[in-house]
Structure 1
Amino acid sequence: MAQQLIVVTGASTGMGASAARELARRGFHVLAGVRRDPDAFRAPGIEPVLLDITEPGQVAALAARVADDPRELHAVVNNAGIQVNAPVEALPMAEWRRVFEVNLFGHIAVTQALLPALLRSRGRVVNISSVGGKAAMPTYGAYAGAKFALEAVSDSLRREVEPLGVRVVVVEPGGVRTEMAARGVATANRLATGMTPEQDARYGRLVQAINSLMSSGTESGLTADAAARVIAKAVMARKPRTRYTIGRDAALITRLTRVLPDRALDRVIAAGVRRHYPAATA
């Protein structure tokens, strides 16, 4: 494994940073993608690389770095992502496009750039999706939409390249204790200030409830290090499953989406959100 490379995108903090450390500990040389130099961290087996997955020049530089290395590329872990929550009606189109650029198109760009190396090494693509790629909560339209799309792209890619020796794996985390949820709440609150009075009357309490639910789910979730061990399993398993969940909440919700009709799932989700609604004001 010391002679094999792994690329991890979004490795500044959270699951990405933990996955980079875990994979380096297991003997890989990890190219850890960070968006800014101050976010770079160095440790044995970890080499930070400047990588904004929405910047074609930086993606091309990553591909060149891999091509110039005599070691094989074992896997790319597409982990970079942002969380943006707002009602469908109230989310500006620029934000919709930004979410899809980061959470979907950037992953496709990195995968396209590194597929020649993965085909040579018979490596694998590990796409970090979300339980939101299976069940779309209220205000999660953009985030879940990109994750649903990533799930579909992963299925299509798997059926294209597994006959050529490249494995494609999806990892679906539930609540994980990282900075992402806190940033998501801050973004949701910022976007809520841009709602019209009519939209605020319709959705204001819902946004507050989702923020509370998001925070509580994160606080009770797994650590980033525990999530990293699941990612490492997806990277290293000799015969990996097509999908891995992280956390009991993700395992439960993905099962429910397979067995419940839409209306029943609507009621389950509504009941979970209802417990977090703020008290109505006079």
Structure 2
Amino acid sequence: MKFKQWIAWHLFELGYLAVLAVLPFIAAIKSVATVLISGLLLIAFIAVIRKITRKLVDVDGQTVVISGCDTGFGHALTKRLDALGFTVIAGCLDDGGEGASKLRKWSDSGRIHVVKLDVRSDESVQSLVKYTKKHSEKGVWAVVNNAAVNFLGDVELCTMDQYKSIAEVNQFGVIRMTKAFLPLIRECKGRVINVTSAKGRISLPSNAVYGATKYAIEAFSDVLRLEMRKFGVRVIIVEPGDFGGTTGMLSPKSVIKLGINIASLEGNILHLVSPWQHCRLRL
């Protein structure tokens, strides 16, 4: 049982089904049998080597800083990392809101720190850095730039204030957080994890405001990865697919917090349609 788990169940089942499918041919053609068996052995060998060389993280209270934890990915990731034993600094735009309250009540481990964070503000980000230094005994293992807001509207109809407001969170907020925490990340040879979007690769109508910021962070992350390689710091891009409806990114409350006039958005917000129901991870 342990051996099957070790080489991964999906590889074991795939090999098992493949053998059953070609069993009649194996009995009839020796050359085919030799090729197939060699292929299966090669797959098994690669799986074993990957398992042996894979480095697992020994979780011992390392600190992970996450932005945008009021709802969505940041909220769920905070709970998951707490369960794994990490110390989590959860940045919430509304530290007195429902999402922040749920995180405070989530566990009695004492490892979740809910802190007010507005990624648009230099003062707010620097305050978070000071708080993190005070509460990160094991060092900062990772910074997850998750805070973002979605926006849909045709290029011609969107105002310059709307372009600037979205970029201030999705683009400059990520850059502001990254620059502020890089010294702490370098000390631990940690990692910067930027949550972008599939729309940072694929252009769709009515997505210029949002997509432009995600394309920008893709480029920013790629450059940062090259610069941080000499320090042993990893830069990771996470590209979610169609999850806008589950993260609250288009809720009226989220839009109001950005200081955008709801009335000006009603004619621009379109329905969410995306055939890309996946999440890509690029290292």
Under a length normalisation based on structure 2, what TM-score does the superposition of the two structures give? Answer: 0.68
- On the 8 A contact 2:62/2:137 being kept in 1, the answer is no
Structure 1 residue 107: Cα displacement = 0.8
Q: Identify the residue that residue 45 of structure 2 maps to in structure 1.
A: none
**Following the alignment from structure 1 to structure 2, what is the Cα–Cα distance between the partners of residues 100 and 76?**
20
- Per the alignment, do residues 35 and 192 of structure 1 end up closer, same or farther by CA in structure 2, a change over 3 Å counting? closer
| Residue identity in the other structure for 1:172 | E
**Separation in 1 of the partners of 2:265 and 2:81?**
39
For 1:52, which of 108, 112, 118 is the aligned residue? Answer: 118
Deviation sequence 1:79-136 (CA, Å, 0-9, x none): 0000111100010100100111000101111111100000000000000000010012
Shift of 1:179: 3.6
Q: Higher Cα Rg: structure 1 or 2?
A: 2
Alignment of 1:166 with 2:224, yes or no, is: no
Call closer, same or farther: CA 1:85–1:191 in 2, change over 3 Å: farther
Q: Which residue of 2 aligns with 1:21?
A: 79
How much does 1:70 deviate? 2.6
Q: 1:194 to 1:178 in 2, by over 3 A?
A: closer
Partner of 1:127: 194
Question: Alignment partner for residue 90 of structure 2, among 32, 42, 45?
Answer: 32
Moved more, 165-174 or 175-184: 175-184
> Which SS does the other structure have where 1:211 is aligned?
coil
Letter in 2 for 1:55: S
Distance in 1, matches of 2:247 and 2:221, equals 26
How far residue 46 of structure 1 moved from its aligned partner, in angstroms, is: 1.3
Q: 1:213 aligns with which of 258, 262, 273?
A: 273
CA distances 1:25-51 after superposition (whole Å, capped 9, x unpaired): 111000000011223121332110110
Query: Structure 1 length normalisation: TM-score?
Result: 0.68
User: Which of residues 56, 64, 68 is equivalent to 2:130?
Assistant: 64
Q: Which position in structure 1 is the counterpart of 2:67?
A: 9
Q: Aligned partner of 1:180: which letter?
A: G
Q: Does 1:111 align with 2:178?
A: yes
1:183 matched to 2:251: yes
SS at match of 1:119: helix
Q: Which amino acid aligns with 2:151?
A: V
1:195-224 deviations in whole A, cap 9, x for unaligned? 7xxxxxxxxxxx6xx40526xx7xx958xx
Using the alignment, how far apart are the partners of 2:150 and 2:91 within structure 1? Answer: 18
Q: What SS class does the counterpart of residue 38 from structure 1 fall into?
A: coil
Deviation at 1:146, TM superposition (A): 0.2
Inter-partner Cα distance in structure 2 for 1:181 and 1:72:
31
The residue aligned with 1:99 is: 166
Count of matched residue positions in the alignment of Structure 1 and Structure 2: 209
Extract unaligned runs of 5+ from structure 2.
1-58, 256-260
Query: Cα gap change, 1:125/1:84 in structure 2, threshold over 3 Å: closer, same or farther?
Result: same
Q: 1:122·1:164 contact (CA, 8 Å) conserved in 2?
A: yes
Question: Residue 178 of structure 1: CA displacement?
Answer: 1.2
Change (3 A) 1:123 1:25: same
Residue type of the partner of 1:20?
T
The alignment partner of 2:63 has SS state of strand
2:213 to 110, 132, 146: 146
Separation (CA, whole Å) in 1 of partners of 2:122 and 2:250: 29
Tell me the CA shift for residue 192 of structure 1: 5.2
Stretches of 4+ aligned residues off by more than 6 angstroms = 186-189
212 and 130 in structure 1: CA distance in 2 versus 1, 3 angstrom threshold: closer
Per chain length, whose mean CA-contact separation is higher, i.e. which structure has more relative contact order (CA < 8 Å, sep 6+)? Answer: 1
CA RMSD of aligned residues (A): 2.6
- 1:12 alignment partner AA: D
- Matching residue's letter, 2:166: V
